[in-house]
Structure 1
Amino acid sequence: MTFTRYAIYFAPPAAADWTQFATSWLGWDLEAARACAHPRVDRVDVAAVTEAPRKYGLHATMKPPFRLRDEQTVEALSEACAQLAATQSPVTLDGLEIARLGRFLALRPLGDDTSLNALGAACVRDLDRFRAPALQAELDRRRANGLSAEQDANLLKWGYPYVMESFRFHITLSGKLDKPTLATVQNALQAQLAPLLPTPFQISDLALMGEAADGRFELIHRYALSG
């Protein structure tokens, strides 16, 4: 299958209870590459609040979506992912919490995230030779949101503003919500998802993802962190 863009994700383990709930919450199973039914939640229109992040599936971005350079191949990218994963150790954190990031909700890690940030930086840096340069329209769109000098430098060098020192690991659970809806949804997730969250929380592999023609992301392969 031909994909329009590729990305490196942390994709939570499919068999975990929290993964299964959060996958159905978003309504897209990136491992099976199919839509799935939302859970029924009192006072929450789950389909509406998850519309924006649905196509990406349940994930944390390690290297943001990019177009493949003309001279590169998916096979070479996959081999580079395997080589990178072989140099990196699994990352263990204290757990996950449901947090507000501006106007949307996400899972954020608890504990010392130094090793996690280093893993994210390695994904961005070591695989960048596969990324086609960002188009001017992409640069303009990112800058329209307002960027710091550091973020703009990241945009020019790495094709995305929120990497390296600006990286914040998160697993998105909603689109942008107004304050009343934000509170209602957070309370619902606190009741239904929070009790399922792992303690400790471990990242044991990286996932190569592909964006299909319909804009939805699918799992291509997982690479165990074995360094």
Structure 2
Amino acid sequence: MRYAIYFTPPPGDALTHAASVWLGRNVFSGLPVDHPVVPGLGLHEIAFHTALPRRTGFHATFKAPFRLAEGQTESSLLNRLMRFAGSIEPVALPRLEVARLGDFYGLLLSRTCPPLDHLAASVVQEFDAFRAPFSEAEIERRSPEGLSASQLANLHRWGHPYVMDEFRFHMTLTGPLLGKDFQRVEAALRHHFDPVLQERPVVANLALFVEREPGAPFQVHSLHPLGRISVRKIA
């Protein structure tokens, strides 16, 4: 069993619906969803290009997947997560936009958001005591030879290369693509997602995801609203 602490919009959100259709799986129910019909990209191509993010589910990573450290339990993790979420106020994000990050596409912020960066770093630090350390074999599987010095230090210290100063908010929508596919996939993504990206999203919850066995799809275990009960915004 592995756990992860992510952001994902609530189940009734229009962005959740659009992402479930695009990826072909609802991350709350775990059930398959029919892919959309979009110009210029066949259903079989969408299924192929979304295979990797379909398994991990629609999310932005705060605390990357981890096994529980010795002496920690799911109950203790849930208790800490509920208390922590109640001490943090929701964060209004800049508008999201379809963009390419390396060789894959996702939803990225249209501009920087320091309060979000602070939240992400706080989650990494707050829950590191729950993370079992990596073995040398696990570190090797993460291709450390391709990381910068800062990213490698993060991998060893925090269990993920892209945290702290290396953090960049993104919600993955494809696996790695060939250059010849960039233009068609981007056009299809914009056609599908642009109508639901007009509103600024709010990080109003932290989501605990679970992977119940190696290779199994990640699924939402529970949502933990941010902010004091009297003032929190729950979608």
Q: Separation in 2 of the partners of 1:108 and 1:145? A: 26
Deviation at 1:198, TM superposition (A): 4.2
Residue 200 of structure 1: aligned partner: 200
One-letter code of the match for 2:104?
F
Supply the RMSD in Å over aligned alpha carbons: 1.4
**What CA deviation, in whole Å up to 9, does each residue of 1:55-92 have, x standing for no partner?**
11111111000011131100100111111111111111
**What CA deviation, in whole Å up to 9, does each residue of 1:114-151 have, x standing for no partner?**
01011111111001111000121121122345111111
Identity of aligned residues (%): 40
Taking structure 1 as reference, are residues 193 and 168 closer, same or farther at Cα in structure 2, changes over 3 Å only? same
Q: Separation in 2 of the partners of 1:145 and 1:20? A: 38
Q: Any conservation in 2 of the 1:55–1:217 contact (CA below 8 Å)?
A: yes
Q: Separation in 1 of the partners of 2:136 and 2:53? A: 24
**What CA deviation, in whole Å up to 9, does each residue of 1:132-179 have, x standing for no partner?**
001211211223451111111111111111111111110000001112
Residue 139 of structure 1: aligned partner: 139
TM-score, normalised by the number of residues in structure 1: 0.94
Residue 94 of structure 1: aligned partner: 94
Deviation at 1:195, TM superposition (A): 1.7
Tell me whether 1:9 sits opposite 2:6 in the alignment: yes
Which of 23, 40, 63 aligns to 1:26? It is 23
Aligned residues: 224
Residue 211 of structure 2: aligned partner: 211
Stretch deviating more after TM superposition (105-114 or 119-128) = 105-114
Q: Separation in 1 of the partners of 2:14 and 2:225? A: 21
Deviation at 1:180, TM superposition (A): 2.2
Q: Separation in 2 of the partners of 1:105 and 1:71? A: 39
Residue 178 of structure 1: aligned partner: 178
Q: Any conservation in 1 of the 2:207–2:223 contact (CA below 8 Å)?
A: yes
Residue 55 of structure 1: aligned partner: 55
Residue 83 of structure 1 aligns to a residue whose secondary structure is: helix
**What CA deviation, in whole Å up to 9, does each residue of 1:178-213 have, x standing for no partner?**
122121011111122112114222110000110022
Higher strand content, 1 or 2? 1
Tell me whether 1:38 sits opposite 2:23 in the alignment: no
One-letter code of the match for 1:68?
L
One-letter code of the match for 1:173?
L
Stretch deviating more after TM superposition (191-200 or 130-139) = 191-200
Residue 157 of structure 2 aligns to a residue whose secondary structure is: helix
Residue 121 of structure 1 aligns to a residue whose secondary structure is: helix
Residue 162 of structure 2 aligns to a residue whose secondary structure is: coil
Q: Separation in 1 of the partners of 2:156 and 2:175? A: 26
Tell me whether 1:223 sits opposite 2:224 in the alignment: yes
Q: Separation in 1 of the partners of 2:216 and 2:131? A: 18
Q: Separation in 2 of the partners of 1:5 and 1:118? A: 24
Deviation at 1:19, TM superposition (A): 1.7
Q: Separation in 2 of the partners of 1:122 and 1:144? A: 24
Unmatched 5+ stretches in structure 2: 229-235
Q: Any conservation in 2 of the 1:93–1:110 contact (CA below 8 Å)?
A: no
Residue 220 of structure 2 aligns to a residue whose secondary structure is: strand
One-letter code of the match for 1:88?
I
Residue 232 of structure 2: aligned partner: none
